[in-house]
Amino acid sequence: MAINYVQLTGNMLQPELRQTKTGKTVMSASMVVKGYGETAEDMWVDVQAWEKLAQNIADSFPTDKKTMRVMVEGTLKKDTWEDSNTGQNRSKFYLNANNVSVCLDYQTVGGVNYSGDGSNASTGNYQSANSNPAPQQPVARPMSEIAEGDAPF
């Protein structure tokens, strides 16, 4: 059985956020994945994310950096179109992201508040851990505020 699952680690360039004609939020970015060995070449991969993930990526990208080291999990998708100049069919593969995580092997992040249940807003900016105080810890909601049957366990 074949499974379409991809996990790549590399440097993502500054993402571009836009709205589709139907009002959905989409993020597009390129990332470079380093090859291994003496003859291996770097590979450029287009990444796409939708809705909340797209917004979170754009909000979390450092404003003072050109790239951010990330691990992207998702599926390969194929985009096809007709070239307007030649009339020939064209296609390319891209990574449709399901999750994007910051890699801490070459960078540090700080100053991001955990939103927990969504009641606290995130600061939206990754910065050096040395330039900001420690992020606030999440605050649990009192059990009295959770309706019976709504608990996740």
Q: Among all chains, which residue has been given the structure tokens 């070459």?
A: 106
In the block, which residue shows the tokens 């992040």?
109
Adjacent-strand bridge partners of 80: 91
Looking at this protein, which amino acid is placed at residue 28? S
Chain-centroid distance, C-alpha 126? 13
Single-letter amino acid code for the residue at 18: R
How far does CA 132 lie from the centroid of its chain? 23
For 102-121, the DSSP string reads E--SS---B-----TTTTS-
Report pLDDT digits (tens) over 58-89: 988 887 788 899 999 999 999 999 999 999 99
Q: In order of start, what are the domains of the chain with their CATH numbers?
A: 6-107 (2.40.50.140)
82 half-sphere exposure, CB direction, 13 A CA radius: 2
Judged against a pLDDT cut of 60, whether residue 117 lies above it is answered with no
Other Cβ atoms less than 10 A from the Cβ of 97: the count is 23
Interatomic CA distance for residues 111 and 130, integer angstroms: 10
Q: Is the pLDDT of residue 48 over 50?
A: yes
Query: Which of the 8 DSSP states describes residue 127?
Result: B
pLDDT digits (tens, 9 = 90+) for 25-38: 999 999 999 888 78
Rg of the chain, C-alpha, whole Å = 19
Contact present, 101 and 71 (Cβ < 8 Å): yes
Q: What are phi and psi of 17, to 5 degrees?
A: -110, 135
pTM, two decimals, is: 0.66
What pLDDT is attached to residue 49?
A: 96
